[in-house]
Amino acid sequence: MCKNIISSIVVFLTFTIAVLQLDTAAASGYGWGFSKNTEHKVPEIGKYQAMLEKYGSYYADLSGDKVVYLTFDNGYEQGYTDEILDVLKKEKVPATFFVTGHYVESAPDLINRMVDEGHIIGNHSYHHPDFTIMNKEAIQKELEALEEAVAGISDQDDIKYMRPPRGMFSEQTLKWANELGLVHVFWSLAFSDWQTDNQKGWQYAYDQTMAQIHPGAIILLHSVSSDNADALEKIIQELKKEGYTFKSLDDLLMKDILPDGFIGL
């Protein structure tokens, strides 16, 4: 009798653990990364490539066109975003700002300025958690809370692009985001720029960007960086001289949706 009870408990616990694993995204969590190169080629991402393609996610424009997509991660405000927006306005360059709930709460005027000046607000979650240890319902709440916060203070009433907090993802989180109508956007060019007490000067940000630049780059910059704010105009102007054009993520999405050679009415 005792042996039967123990066996039943073991079976129950095994089943419960299996269900919990299915209900969270932790089975195969990854931190986004790739091998950098200075040959001005799109970085290879190995096994991630098939996953991104399966769920309509992006890390670069793979068309070979000499275009660049500027994206910024805005977790909190450090006083440099106005300067960044001034440069983007002067140079007529679009960008996407992936923001958190804290940023929306603490910098509503900047959110409005981004939207009013034609930039896109992306979803970086409300509280910046690791999605790979959460279930679908919890992730959905995080994403919807951020979207509602942005809609509550600006004219952008829906968000279609997301960047996972900390760059953490799994095939399950890609699938869930896709089911929620969101497009994962990773990056193909980045460098260590987020430590506010370890800024190295504008030349460092400029050199890092120019060394890694490639056709179709999705550039990730953190808006808390004084280096980035000081280097941005120089980076944009040099890339324009080299024949690059700056596009928005909407342009990238439409490139995949519309047939080659399509010309609008």
SS3 assignment, position 183: strand
Whether 19 is in a domain gets the answer: yes
- Residue recorded with tokens 């992006």: 58
Per-residue pLDDT band for 257 (boundaries 50, 70, 90) equals confident
262, part of any domain: no
Q: Specify the pLDDT at position 148.
A: 98
pLDDT at 256: 81
pLDDT tens digits, residue range 86-115?
999 999 999 999 999 999 999 999 999 999
Q: Is residue 264 in a domain?
A: no
pTM to 2 decimals? 0.88
Helices (H), 107-201: 108-116, 136-153, 171-179
40 is a domain residue:
yes
| Phi–psi pair at 99, nearest 5 degrees | -115, 160
**Domain-embedded: residue 242:** yes
Please indicate, yes or no, if residue 173 is contained in any of the structural domains.
yes
In a domain, 263, yes or no: no
- The residue from 61, 73, 130, 227 that is catalytic is 73
CATH classification at residue 52:
3.20.20.370
Query: Which entry of 124, 222, 227, 230 is annotated as an active-site residue?
Result: 222
Q: Can you give the pLDDT at residue 23? A: 53
User: How many separate domains does the chain show?
Assistant: 1
Q: What is the pLDDT of residue 24?
A: 54
- Distance (Å, whole) CA 84 – CA 47: 35
Tell how strand 168-169 and strand 30-31 pair up: antiparallel
Cα torsion through 191, 199, 110, 182, rounded to 10: 20
Q: What is d(CA 7, CA 132) in angstroms, rounded to the nearest whole number?
A: 32
H or E stretch at 236: helix 226-241
Q: List pLDDT tens digits, range 245-254.
A: 999 999 999 9
Determine the structural domain holding residue 135 and report its residue range: 2-257
Please return the burial class of 66, using the count of CB atoms within 10 Å of its CB with bins 0-12, 13-18 and 19+: middle
Catalytic: 214?
no
Is 73 known to be catalytic?
Answer: yes
Is residue 169 situated within a structural domain? yes
Give the H/E segment covering residue 208.
Answer: helix 202-212
